[in-house]
Structures are given as C-alpha cells and as structure tokens.
Amino acid sequence: MGPLASRIRHDPLPERLDAVEPCVRAWFEELQLRCQEEKEQYAEAGQTPSPQKLNFWDAHIGPENVDSHTSRSRLFLQSFDDFRSRQNLSKEQLRFAVLVQHFASQDTMDFRRPPEKRMHDDVFEGILTSSVNAQLVTDAHRAEWAIEGDGFVVPKAQNDEDQNSTGQQ
C-alpha cells in the first residue's frame, strides 16, 4: 500500500476523486505517448496502419482526448464500489480497474460504430442476438458478472444447477 491508498482511505469521495485524478490523467497521457510513438514507428518504417489502428490513435492522441478519458474515468470511479467504499486499492489495482473499464467501454462502443470507424477488428455475429461481439460470447462463461447488484459466476452457477438436477446439495 502506497501513499496514494493511505491518503484516499479517510477522505470523502470528491476529495478522493480529486486526489487520484492526476494519476488517472498520467495513465492516459502515457497511453497517448505510446500511440504517438507507434504512429511514428509506422511512418519511419513506411508501413500503412490499418483503419482500426488509425481510429485508435485518433481516439487517444490529443489533449481533448486525455481530458475526455480522464473525466469518464472519474465518473466510473464515482460508481466503482471498491473505490467508493474506501477499499485500500493500490495504485496498480486502481490503474487496472480504470484501464479495463476504458478499453471494455471502447470495445463495446465499437458495435455501434460503422466498420470504418471502429478501433478494433472484432467480429459481430448472430441474427437473434442483434450482432453480439464474438469474443464476448467466447469469453462470457469465464467471467464474473453483476446483475442488479448480485454477483454471478457462470461456472459456479452451472455447477450449482448440475448438482440441483442430480439431487446433490
């Protein structure tokens, strides 16, 4: 536990959000720098990046993008139970939560974008499911989900269901 976590522990929510905002901003500035470096490497190598790569760079390069991602992450943290309940999150845990939420949100929003505007080359399939992300379907059974505040783990639920159907408790 570092100074960030100990400082956050006893502060009201708005003050804790203010305290972590410089870290969150720095993570998105770091992502911006990596995108800029990657863009330069493509140019130096004379390679043409994919449209998805260009869209990803466009979404992460520029101060307005850093500001937007920082603000959205602040909103995420406001509703993130572990942060709101003053859990002792390390800087690494907080970074992981913020960036996973950011990238999952981007991936989810790709579904609504026309193919030429997407940041990832994901496949959306299914007539009855209105084109669900194929990777989500592949990974869904390995995930933990929260539905109306109740935790749900697919493998555990399947085992419970199997035991109930065979009469085991």
Same domain, 105 and 133: no
Higher pLDDT: 3 or 104? It is 104
pLDDT at 55: 96
Tell me the pLDDT band of 88, cut-offs 50, 70 and 90: confident
Same domain, 101 and 130: no
pLDDT at 65: 98
Same domain, 88 and 49: yes
Give the residue numbers spanning the domain of 61: 3-121
Three-state secondary-structure class, residue 152: strand
Same domain, 33 and 73: yes
Same domain, 62 and 129: no
C-alpha to C-alpha distance for 169 and 84, rounded to whole angstroms: 36
Of the listed ranges 25-34, 61-70, 116-125, 136-145, the one predicted with least confidence: 136-145
Same domain, 59 and 127: no
Same domain, 99 and 134: no
Same domain, 82 and 155: no
Last residue of a domain, one of 83, 98, 121: 121
Three-state secondary-structure class, residue 153: strand
Give me the chain's average pLDDT, please. 81
Cβ contact 74:24 at 8 Å? yes
Cβ contact 8:20 at 8 Å? yes
Same domain, 97 and 115: yes
Of the listed ranges 53-57, 67-71, 90-94, 121-125, the one predicted with least confidence: 121-125
Same domain, 86 and 168: no
What is the value of pTM for the model shown? 0.68
Of the listed ranges 13-17, 93-97, 148-152, the one predicted with least confidence: 148-152
pLDDT at 1: 44
Last residue of a domain, one of 82, 97, 121: 121
Residue 21 in tokens: 């905002």
Same domain, 117 and 129: no
| Number of folded domains that form the chain | 2
Same domain, 84 and 137: no
pLDDT tens track for 16-59: 899 999 999 999 999 999 999 999 999 999 999 999 999 999 99
pLDDT at 108: 82
